[in-house]
Amino acid sequence: MSRKAWVQQIMGMPISIHLRGEDVESPMVAQVVEDVFELLREVDRLFSTYRDDSEVNRIRRGELDAEHADPLVQQVIALCQQAGELTKGAFTDQLPDDQGVLRFDPTGLVKGWAADRAANRLAELSGLSFLLNAGGDVVVGGTDGSGALWRVGIEDPRDRSRVAQVVELHHGGVATSGTAARGAHLYDPNAQTFVDRAGSITVIGPRLMWADVWATALFVGSKSLMLRFSEVADGYRVISQ
């Protein structure tokens, strides 16, 4: 059995694709991998808060009405609303800009959503299993016939040189939120402040997007939100560090 990996810098982070199986060198595989990277580049063109011409920035400046935005942008807006309702407001697409003004910013959901869309494309490759790593959040799937699991390490937030736990899975997503890598960048919309505490929350489940949403919400939300999670997030589990 062979393995091959590709990596590109997209959406402001390294995104790597790892394939395992008997035919990882075929031209068809190379084309699908390039299609996946192009899909992610399109997401960046639509959603980046760093590109002046992105639809997100045009919405933020009032140049584009959300009702006239690209269908993918409209889909993400609807998902953000759903995420806010499911998490009792702990997840939001309204984040402070550099001047502290709340503006439309769906990036907390977009990464997982985009990775899930990319995973759907990779899943079309027959006889191969895959792992896609988007800035530390991981989605795996496919089948190579070996039954081998993917092993995903969870970083110790208090010692980033150490792997605290290893998750093994065939399919699904693993997302971690915390302050170890980027400091106090996670916003608590209920307290209207950025959270500055140690530790991390990892969520494992069928879809990376919802794992990522819940990891963020549980990190910034109140302790009572865990009860809500247990009631509505069927098939997902939490590892707290």
For residues 79-90, give the mean pLDDT.
97
Read off the pLDDT band of 182 (50, 70, 90).
confident
Cβ distance 120 to 145 under 8 Å?
A: no
Taking the C-alpha atoms of residue 35 and residue 97, their distance in angstroms, rounded to an integer, is 33
pLDDT at 241: 86
Residue-wise pLDDT tens digits, 90-144 = 999 999 998 999 999 999 999 999 999 999 999 999 999 999 999 999 999 999 9
Q: Is the pLDDT of residue 1 over 90?
A: no
Taking the C-alpha atoms of residue 119 and residue 170, their distance in angstroms, rounded to an integer, is 13
Match domain 2-240 to its CATH number in 3.10.520.10, 3.40.50.2300, 3.40.50.300, 3.40.50.880.
Answer: 3.10.520.10
Residue-wise pLDDT tens digits, 28-40 = 999 999 999 999 9
Residue count of the chain:
241
Domain assignments of the chain as residue spans, ordered by start? 2-240
For residues 64-83, give the mean pLDDT.
98
pLDDT at 98: 87
In 84-103, which positions are buried (b, 16+ CB within 10 angstroms) versus exposed (e)?
bebbeebbbbebeeeeeeeb
For residues 73-92, give the mean pLDDT.
97
Cβ distance 162 to 180 under 8 Å?
A: no
Q: Is the pLDDT of residue 203 over 90?
A: yes
Contacts of 27 (CB under 8 A, 6+ apart): none
pLDDT at 181: 85
For residues 166-192, give the mean pLDDT.
93
- Among residues of the chain, what percentage have pLDDT more than 70? 100
pLDDT at 105: 97
- Work out whether the CA dihedral 157, 235, 141, 213 comes out positive or negative: negative
Q: Is the pLDDT of residue 89 over 90?
A: yes
Read off the pLDDT band of 189 (50, 70, 90).
very high
